Amino acid sequence: MNRHTITEQDMAEEAALIQAIYPIFIEEIDRIEAARGKLSDFQLMRAAARSKDAMGSLSWERRQTVNAIFETYFEKYRQYGRKGADDWIVLTFGSSRKAIVQRVYGHNKGYLGSGETSVGSRIEELSRLLLEKEAELLWIHRELNLLQGLVASDRQQEDDE
């Protein structure tokens, strides 16, 4: 088997590359999760492809390394969820969640814009989305309680007979 030895310098370069493209990746994941919930394998691959587009021209070996990193992230995401996968990135590539979020908002000015007013509008948007989701959950909870009540009354009638 032909194994490629990765030097410490190579690993530092890959870590810097991941730290540079990871904000794009989590921005895409955030966007899709907000619309559809937990991502499928296909959606994860699309988010990775979008972030890899920002890498520019890299050697085949570096692209393979980045692909392997994303594959590991996908496994962690499927097994432990988003938080577990994000924690793995932070622990492996030495970045904090706060730094990642700052890079997300700093790298894509069009996403949030620059300045406090854009951040304020994003906060308003997220607050509105949260209220919508809360209303939806309340409706689901009411329906669940209604159905559970119907099942309980049916069982009670069967027991009485």
Tens digits of pLDDT across the chain (161 residues):
445 566 777 777 777 888 778 888 888 888 888 888 888 889 999 988 888 887 777 778 888 888 888 999 999 999 999 889 888 888 887 765 566 556 555 544 444 444 455 677 777 777 787 888 888 888 888 999 999 999 988 888 888 87
pLDDT of residue 103: 55
pLDDT at 16: 80
AA letter at 12: A
d(CA 72, CA 128): 34
Residue 72 has what pLDDT? 92
Residue 23 Rama label (left phi>0; alpha psi -120 to 50; beta) = alpha
Of 125, 134, 117, 94, residue with least CA distance to 31:
125
Rg (CA), the chain: 22
Residue 88's contacts (CB-CB under 8 Å, 6 or more residues apart) are 72, 73, 76, 80
Q: What pLDDT score does 30 carry?
A: 86
pTM for the complete prediction?
A: 0.56
CA-nearest of 10, 103, 106, 105 to 58 is 10
Given this model, what pLDDT does residue 136 score? 83
What pLDDT sits at residue 98? 60
pLDDT at residue number 6: 66
Q: What is the pLDDT of residue 147?
A: 92
Helix axis angle, 60-93 to 41-53, nearest 10°:
110
